[in-house]
Amino acid sequence: MLTFAELLKKRRSIREYTDEKVNLVVLDEILRDTCQAPSAMNQQPWKFIIIQDRNLMERISDESKKNLLRELENNPNSRLKKYEAMLRQRFNVFYNAPCLVLIVGKNEQEFFQRDCGLAAVYFMFAATARGLGTCWIGLGEHIQDEALKKEIGLPEGHEIAAAIIIGYPQMIQEPSVRQPVILKKIV
């Protein structure tokens, strides 16, 4: 069993996976742990979509890239400018991972993005504790095609808050040096 400090250091953004599928029983365990995340007024707004179909993941990747490029064309000064070259390449934003988990919530709930973000962190730690790797893929959350939303089971009125790939890592890199930046201490 990892200590909390070890867990923090072992959680890395993994982009290279073995071909081994993630067992659905293990995913269920991870999701049960994920639901221990705090949420505003204990609303627990998160829901999960599990996708292990790599062809479908590639279609979601293509859809997300198409929509991000459209956003960039409409706003050339967008924050996406730094990703433009990558988005134009034949590139799967999900790095051909064996599994994608979408954390979704109702967009009418005031704090659902924050609550689902906390659930995403719990998800990544729960996966790390089981020897799995994850990576939160912000570029993979931009699905606008209604038929594709229906195909993946995204309920009406819900948004994707986090797209996280998961699988068995080919390797785990050492953590980079990180230091807090304290702007001011008021005592």
Would you kindly state where each structural domain of the chain is located, as residue ranges? 4-167
Residue 26, pLDDT above cutoff 90: yes
Average pLDDT over residues 140-161: 96
Residue 21, pLDDT above cutoff 90: yes
Average pLDDT over residues 148-173: 95
Query: Which of 104, 91, 99 lies closest to 141 in space, CA to CA?
Result: 104
Task: Quote the pLDDT of residue 175.
Answer: 82
Task: Quote the pLDDT of residue 59.
Answer: 97
Q: How confident is the model at residue 155 (pLDDT cuts 50, 70, 90)?
A: very high
**The pTM is what?**
0.94
CATH 3.40.50.2300 fits 4-167, yes or no: no
Task: Quote the pLDDT of residue 136.
Answer: 98
Condensed to tens digits (0 to 9), the pLDDT of residues 69-123 reads 999 999 988 888 898 888 998 889 999 999 999 999 998 888 999 999 999 999 9
Q: Please name the residues in contact with 134: beta carbons below 8 A apart, sequence gap of 6 or more.
A: 11, 13, 14, 123, 124, 127, 128, 164, 165, 166
3-state per-residue secondary structure call for 127-179: HHHCCCEEEECHHHCCCCCHHHHHHHCCCCCEEEEEEEEEECECCCCCCCCCC
Q: How confident is the model at residue 1 (pLDDT cuts 50, 70, 90)?
A: confident
Task: Quote the pLDDT of residue 129.
Answer: 97
